[in-house]
Chains A and B, each alone.
Chain A
């Protein structure tokens, strides 16, 4: 091959790289390992993490069972090793799965249109804010303090550089729901959108309709976000919202130390051209057969460049496919039954502890826990990872922790946890 290129040595390939730019040493990275050594190395690393613990952590990342079928499907090379489906004729597999994904997200959220997925819940939130700004031509963002703290962090990072002031409104000290009085006080004619999460970071289900009325009365959009997608199987969909964004990690996506996950973004029909990210549409091929293709691409960066709705390029196709397989396996009955089990487990645990808030909770709740760190330390001795002490994100909630119970949480572990808590 070198001869075909008119070269004598491989080094000549790099004659175009000026000497000043060339590396002057061999990379200081050890020589390659065999497959066995690689597996062994990572097994040793994994063993330094928690293995064999029961866990009550939720807070945006949930332990739900992953049906075996999910990995069977996503391991198929045709899904795993294909590119973004720009070439429709040889990408109908991926395109069809995304079309089903978009449809099910609409069915679950009560929205009219959904995109092909976002990086995750945390990055979907600032995208909703930017979208609301485009739609309303207003510039202020109003976000509930009960939205996931890390989602709000990401929102601030994005908003700051676009000159979009972010104001926060509080939660009610008794119910844990948003403080409607504070919302009323902070809504203005400049508010582009109100962003809430439900169930919120404390696990409490919000009164979406009441919040929507207030936002709409001021000409602002309502953005509904969720971190625990299993709730969608049981909770009334947020039909009063204008934009819905959220995290699908609960749908057969491993916690994986925080990623990769898949976010969603859905909206009312009239906002379709302001939606960021990829969209798959139905059409026909030249033989008149149903076919799918990426559509409304003119919203996107590779065409509109600096005027694009977002700079987002990747979606999370393979991760969204995990969620798609999960949704189809569980189906209409399963998602409801799964959510109902989560509710029952969490309520059982709550009955043994002292909840901090009295609003309706789904599968996690804030428990009063004086000396939360000490409780967690004692739980670790029993091979239990306790809840998330909230002082880290909410100084005023020191002495409490956020606890989660799912279909995978065993009664015996909940009893042990309660015993340690109450001793």
Chain B
């Protein structure tokens, strides 16, 4: 699997992309494949604030729930509406169309401390 170079990754299997102070957050291909068929995604509403390292939503398969942790903190500017009606998109395109939320990052300098694609690839390899 190709993990995009421009993203950063967490040990809890989220990815984050930063552009003009706005962080787009999603879960990785590895995370979706561990969960299996995703049936529901619970996300915060725009205006909510998320805290780095704290859970901000969850992803459900038929028999499991996984919390999603915020790789960066800030105010939610957008939640991906597509997932409300088509949770299966998260299985199909986790690094693209099925991003979860966008956040106005309160501390953009946190970004480089996360894993890069190569490090994440190694991490996932080691975990499985």
Contact = CB atoms under 8 A, between A and B. Distances in A.
Q: Answer yes or no: do A and B interact.
A: yes
Interface of A: 273, 297-298, 303-304, 307
- Nearest first, the 7 A-B pairs at minimum CB distance are A298-B60, A298-B65, A304-B65, A303-B65, A303-B63, A303-B64, A297-B63
Contacts of B64: 298, 303
A298 B60 CA distance: 7
Contacts of A273: 40, 42
Contacts of A303: 63-65
Contacts of B61: 298
Interface in B38-82: 40, 42, 60-65
Contacts of B62: 297-298
Nearest to B65: A298
A393 B100 CA distance: 53
16 contacts: A273-B40, A273-B42, A297-B62, A297-B63, A298-B40, A298-B60, A298-B61, A298-B62, A298-B63, A298-B64, A298-B65, A303-B63, A303-B64, A303-B65, A304-B65, A307-B65
Is chain A's interface secondary structure helix, strand, loop, or mixed overall? helix
Contacts, number: 16
A307 B61 CA distance: 16
A330 B60 CA distance: 40
Contacts of B42: 273
Interface of B: 40, 42, 60-65
Contacts of A307: 65
Given A298-B61, A298-B64, 14 more contacts: A273-B40, A273-B42, A297-B62, A297-B63, A298-B40, A298-B60, A298-B62, A298-B63, A298-B65, A303-B63, A303-B64, A303-B65, A304-B65, A307-B65
Nearest to B64: A303
Nearest to B55: A307
A304 B67 CA distance: 10
The listed residue with most B CB atoms (<10 A of its CB), out of A298, A303, A304, A307, is A298
A297 B40 CA distance: 12
Contacts of B60: 298
A273 B62 CA distance: 13
Nearest to B61: A298
A307 B64 CA distance: 12
A276 to B, nearest CB: 15
A304 B60 CA distance: 10
A304 B42 CA distance: 14
A403 to B, nearest CB: 49
B29 to A, nearest CB: 22
A363 B125 CA distance: 69
B36 to A, nearest CB: 12
A269 to B, nearest CB: 14
A10 to B, nearest CB: 39
A273 B41 CA distance: 11
A273 B58 CA distance: 13
A274 to B, nearest CB: 11
Nearest to A307: B65
Contacts of A298: 40, 60-65
Contacts of B65: 298, 303-304, 307
B53 to A, nearest CB: 18
Nearest to A308: B65
Contacts of B63: 297-298, 303
A298 B35 CA distance: 13
A303 B58 CA distance: 13
A169 to B, nearest CB: 32
A273 B61 CA distance: 14
A180 B39 CA distance: 43
Nearest to B42: A273
Contacts of A297: 62-63
A285 B45 CA distance: 36
A298 B64 CA distance: 6
Nearest to B62: A297
Nearest to B59: A298
A304 B61 CA distance: 12
A298 B67 CA distance: 12
A298 B65 CA distance: 6
A303 B65 CA distance: 7
Nearest to B60: A298
